[in-house]
Chain A
Amino acid sequence: MPVRVQTEDFDVGAEIARLRQGNPKVGAVASFVGIVRDLNDGDEVATLTLEHYPGMTEKSLEDIVSRAKQRWDIYDVLVVHRVGTLKPLDQIVLVVVTSAHRGESFKACEFLMDYLKTRAPFWKKEITPEGSRWVEARSSDDAAADRWS
């Protein structure tokens, strides 16, 4: 499965090793890891809870992966996204792309993250010392995704 939604943490090295295992055509692996920060919009973040839409989440991520594969000459893609309660320093999301040459996997990896941020149905709720709040979508994320259209 190129797409996983899970509460557990992931091991980046093990995931990369598994994705490229036994494929001697792979000359490049690009990866992105998203991590929970301790500050957002000027407030301390104690914990972060990620909610998602089971079913649509997987469907939308698979759609994003197939768009990337149509657009660039890449071999394999892995997307792992965590849900549930996370805290600063925790890993949230992993995208790995393999290809023959670096240009394709760099571009596809960035595209996958930009599309994931604006299309996959996840929502973050932050718990700060002042209480909890739903994170607002950023127009800069929309602008980043629009670059690819």
Chain B
Amino acid sequence: MKPDETQTATVRLLYFARLREALGREAEELVLPEGVATVGQLADFLRQRGDAWATELAAGRAVRVAVNQDMADSGTVIRGGEEIAFFPPVTGG
């Protein structure tokens, strides 16, 4: 099922590490809700799902976001079609 992007703007969300486990999913397709045009607004929308979403994405939690595999911040614009990943600070090496 490939959504027609000319009609609905969708994004692919990915979750890694602690977030993947706490949220119980590693990926999802999301039709961009009305009024969601930035990473910060997307995080606000996801927090409204409650439970783990509210706690894991709470303002004080250290969560990083990448848009199309580049590090982003709350002001980064989303137009639809992006791959948006949420994850904790990295711990490789």
Q: What is the interface of chain A, defined by CB distance below 8 A to chain B?
A: 34, 50-53, 55-56, 59-60, 81, 92-93, 113, 116-125, 134-137
CB-contact partner of B93 in A53, A113, A125, under 8 A: A113
Name the one of A50, A59, A134 contacting B92, with C-beta atoms under 8 angstroms: A50
- Chain A CB within 10 A, most for which of B16, B18, B93: B93
- A53 lies within 8 A of B66 (CB): yes
In-complex Cβ contact of B87 among A55, A121, A124 (8 A)? A121
Q: Which of B14, B16, B70 contacts A123 (CB 8 A)?
A: B16
- A53 in contact with B92 (CB, 8 Å): no
Number of interface residues of B (CB under 8 A): 17
Q: CA separation between A119 and B87, bound complex, in Å?
A: 12
Contact A123 B69 (CB under 8 A): no
A118 to B91, CA, bound (A): 7
**Contacts A/B (CB < 8 Å), 12 sampled:** A51-B16, A53-B69, A53-B85, A93-B92, A117-B93, A120-B93, A121-B87, A123-B92, A124-B92, A134-B17, A134-B18, A137-B90
Among A56, A113, A117, A119, which residue has its beta carbon within 8 angstroms of that of B85? Answer: A56
User: Complex Cα distance A92/B92, Å?
Assistant: 9
Q: A93-B93, A113-B93, A122-B93 are in contact. Are A137 and B88 (CB under 8 A)?
A: yes
Give A25 to B71 CA distance when docked, in angstroms: 37
> B1 on the interface (CB 8 Å rule)?
no
A119-B17 in contact (CB<8A): no
Q: Which residues of B contact A122 (CB under 8 A)?
A: 90-93
Q: Could you mark each residue 64-92 of chain B with 1 if its beta carbon is under 8 Å from any beta carbon of chain A, else 0? A: 00100111000000000000010111111
